[in-house]
Structure 1
Amino acid sequence: MIKRRLKELDLLRFLAALAVVIFHYAFRGYARGDMSTMPYPLLAEPAKYGYLGVELFFMISGFVILMTASNNNLKAFFISRVVRICPAFWVCCTLTFVITLAIGQPRYTADFYQYVMNMTFLSDALGVLPIDGVYWSLFAEIKFYLMISILLGFKQIEKIEAYLVAWLLISAVSEIFVMEKLRWVLVTDYAAYFIAGATFYVIWTKGFTITRVFLLVGALVLAGYTAIVWADVLETKYLTDYNNLIICSMIILFFIIFLMIATNKTSAIGALNWTALGALTYPLYLLHQMIGFMIFNIVYPAVNPHLLLWGTVALMIGGSYLIHKTIEVPIARSMKKFLSFSLIHVRG
């Protein structure tokens, strides 16, 4: 039985988003010289590990999505996901598109067809470039939502552990034998994080069993394997060295944090109100990358890089808050009412 809202997850979301922002601004943008003209050597070395914030996001998603699906109601789950994803995405995608047209050239370009495909969430399936590169993780999330929706549709969510075991085993086989189509469909590069998050939710509500321990151990091993493989790719891509011990240690830390959450060892942190930080995390993640790089490319080196980087971070956080409060919340509220009425009407 759910006893309280886990507000510590809101703090965790924000820290994950901030890690990704710093990864992009202090390392990724300048690393290949193809996105940002502004180097930031002061933070470049630790910042290059900030991409792991996305993996943490996926663990949070596994936990939260299973919590959302626990009422075994497909309609309620569908409405909650549409209302959560669409308003902020539409606003941030539109802003990024307009700003790209206004100040992005010659480095950045976008066209209306690309914009429409992004707005309809079809760009990944149709091979259309995203308006902002961060959208790739959203498409991975949507595949996870579809898997959960299928289980809800067939009234199988109560058997989630069996499906998590199957997903883990198939993902491991697909990774080892490089079965590309299956890897794309089942998001096997990141399946371990979704599986771990979902398993920690089950442990939080029902406690430990041998199956749940197996899922956690298996997910940790798969996460470590895929992370090391991906680090090799990043080393070639960014011409830098990654320390596998640091990467694996960070992943283990994520598991330890969730173990503490699942066993109610973080209630003191959860007693504080982190809701506002959690609420602006999604628009911050969607908004920051391309717009931030365009700002850097226009203003640097005229403005001090420290002022420029941290000022842009503050601008993105402030902008995300305004988007959430003035646009996302009202649109989400209206969409929820509309969808709830429409689906009841169709059912009737």
Structure 2
Amino acid sequence: MPAPAGSSPGSDRSGGAGPLPEAAVPAPTPPAGGRARGRLRALDGLRLVAALMVCFYHYAGRSGDIAHSWGKSPREIFPHLAGPFSYGPLGVQIFFIISGFVICMSGWGRSIKDFAISRVTRLYPAYWAALIIITVVFTWANYKHVSKTDLLTNFTMLQMPAGAQRVLGVDWTLWAEMRFYLLFAVCVLWRGATRERVLMFCALWTAAALYAGSSKQQFLELALMPNYAPFFVGGIGLYLIYRFGHDAISWGVVAIGFLLGQRYAVQDLVAPAHSHVFYHRTQFGVIAVVTFGFIAVAVVTLVPAVANVNWRWLTTAGALTYPFYLVHEHLGWVAIDKLHHKTSLSAPVILFGTALSMLVLAYLLNKFVEKPLAPRLKKLLQARPRPAGAH
């Protein structure tokens, strides 16, 4: 999830984009009146596709810091790729659709405490490791300076509302995800998820987000995320179809999410014709990618021939997505800078080699950080408090 704090994902100054922070899409609970279904491995694979969209946007589809790493604009180095790669920020909208689906699925039947623990144990171990690694690399490469107090604040993952400088530019997306988790927990999980309660949540959030966007009141826009709410809501609608079957109301939720979502995506990502930007995205192109996102999530979850795909490597791909998202951007910029200026490797080799190296690092983080630390952190959080002074 790039550059200065507070940037929007649509501009060339953006904070980038980031994926749903799930190691792997969990096995869903059985749908009412239906049989249990297995893990949605194809959805794991789609998450990695969206992450790679974001990655190549950061490496060759935007201006700013990456131009310093390459020594000139990526548009000059990759004249045929820079345009398509400039649509990479839309990977974040695809992640939000997936997030709506997966969070509704994984939160169903859970208490708020269990839901919160699952989010903490999923998000923080890899995040802390990435934060330390990137800080060390930045210090070594003299790439970016963050004050000690801002660095310490980053360990909370609340640096954006606290007004601290971000170490990981991509973590603005985590802040959006956390606000979604809070809304969903308070409005749905507090009393237990039911179809009616989830539908009411989708309706009220959509209406409130529209009001927030038109009111121009900063707090309401911050809390209700009008630009992103339609994508989360659309994903929730797809989960309701997955769980309970096809019906007009659930498909209406998905349709409204798409129709409003494409509007906000065009508004955020299509620059006025007279403005000077890295690449002028078109309305058609943005709408096409948003359409692809909704259709792709629907296909990998609702079409049996795809939803039942049992290729285990897809789950591995899904497990790499979150750590890959955390490390790929800034570490990739440093790697490209060093490789481009100190080796004779060709630009395409550096581009794809850097992406591959970030996937390898993500694999190592998943194996040596996430897998051993997440269960320990979960056990620690689930432990009952002991009386003060007890031994």
**TM-score, normalised with respect to structure 1:** 0.91
2:366 corresponds to which residue? 324
CA 1:36 to 1:149, structure 2 compared with 1: closer, same or farther past 3 Å?
Answer: farther
Q: Which is worse superposed, 209-218 or 119-128? A: 209-218
CA contact (8 A) 2:241 2:250 kept: yes
Deviation at 1:268, TM superposition (A): 6.2
2:220 corresponds to which residue? 182
Q: 1:88 aligns with which of 122, 126, 129?
A: 126
Indicate whether 1:340 and 2:382 are aligned.
yes
Q: 1:139 aligns with which of 175, 183, 187?
A: 175
Q: 2:332 aligns with which of 265, 270, 292?
A: 292
2:27 corresponds to which residue? none
Indicate whether 1:119 and 2:161 are aligned.
no
Indicate whether 1:215 and 2:285 are aligned.
no
Deviation at 1:184, TM superposition (A): 1.0
CA contact (8 A) 1:62 1:197 kept: yes
1:253 corresponds to which residue? 292
Indicate whether 1:48 and 2:86 are aligned.
yes
Amino acid across the alignment from 2:325: Y
Q: Measure the CA separation in 1 of the matches of 2:379 and 2:110.
A: 20
Deviations 1:181-227 (A, max 9, x none): 21111122111111111111111001233322221121111111101
Q: Measure the CA separation in 2 of the matches of 1:80 and 1:325.
A: 18
CA contact (8 A) 1:62 1:195 kept: yes
Determine which structure has the larger helix proportion and give its number.
1
Q: Measure the CA separation in 1 of the matches of 2:282 and 2:271.
A: 13
Q: Measure the CA separation in 2 of the matches of 1:147 and 1:26.
A: 35
Deviations 1:78-131 (A, max 9, x none): 1111111001111111111111111033xx222222211111112111121211
Deviation at 1:266, TM superposition (A): 4.3
Q: Measure the CA separation in 1 of the matches of 2:142 and 2:92.
A: 26
Unpaired segments ≥5 residues, structure 2: 1-29, 31-35
RMSD: 2.4
CA 1:233 to 1:269, structure 2 compared with 1: closer, same or farther past 3 Å?
Answer: farther
Q: 2:117 aligns with which of 52, 60, 79?
A: 79
Amino acid across the alignment from 2:311: L
Q: 1:22 aligns with which of 56, 68, 80?
A: 56
Q: Measure the CA separation in 2 of the matches of 1:232 and 1:330.
A: 43
Q: Measure the CA separation in 1 of the matches of 2:61 and 2:361.
A: 22
Amino acid across the alignment from 1:3: R
Deviation at 1:262, TM superposition (A): 4.1
Q: Measure the CA separation in 1 of the matches of 2:326 and 2:171.
A: 7
1:312 corresponds to which residue? 354
Q: Which is worse superposed, 45-54 or 212-221? A: 212-221
Q: Secondary structure at the match of 2:81?
A: helix
Amino acid across the alignment from 1:96: I
Unpaired segments ≥5 residues, structure 1: none
Task: Work out the number of aligned pairs and report it.
Answer: 344
Q: Which is worse superposed, 327-336 or 203-212? A: 203-212
Deviation at 1:280, TM superposition (A): 0.7
CA contact (8 A) 1:192 1:223 kept: yes
Deviation at 1:299, TM superposition (A): 3.0
Q: Measure the CA separation in 1 of the matches of 2:190 and 2:303.
A: 32
CA contact (8 A) 2:271 2:281 kept: no
Deviation at 1:36, TM superposition (A): 5.3
Q: Measure the CA separation in 2 of the matches of 1:177 and 1:227.
A: 19
Q: Measure the CA separation in 1 of the matches of 2:71 and 2:211.
A: 41
Q: Measure the CA separation in 2 of the matches of 1:167 and 1:249.
A: 25
Deviation at 1:269, TM superposition (A): 6.3
CA contact (8 A) 2:83 2:279 kept: no
Q: Measure the CA separation in 1 of the matches of 2:369 and 2:253.
A: 40
Within a 5 Å distance, the mapping from 1:230-245 to structure 2 comes to 230-233=268-271, 236=275, 238-245=277-284
Indicate whether 1:6 and 2:40 are aligned.
yes
Q: 1:99 aligns with which of 137, 140, 154?
A: 137
Deviation at 1:151, TM superposition (A): 3.0
**Percentage identity across aligned positions?**
28
Q: Measure the CA separation in 1 of the matches of 2:278 and 2:66.
A: 8
CA contact (8 A) 1:31 1:238 kept: no
Q: Which is worse superposed, 108-117 or 55-64? A: 108-117
Q: Measure the CA separation in 2 of the matches of 1:234 and 1:136.
A: 25
Q: Measure the CA separation in 2 of the matches of 1:265 and 1:237.
A: 46
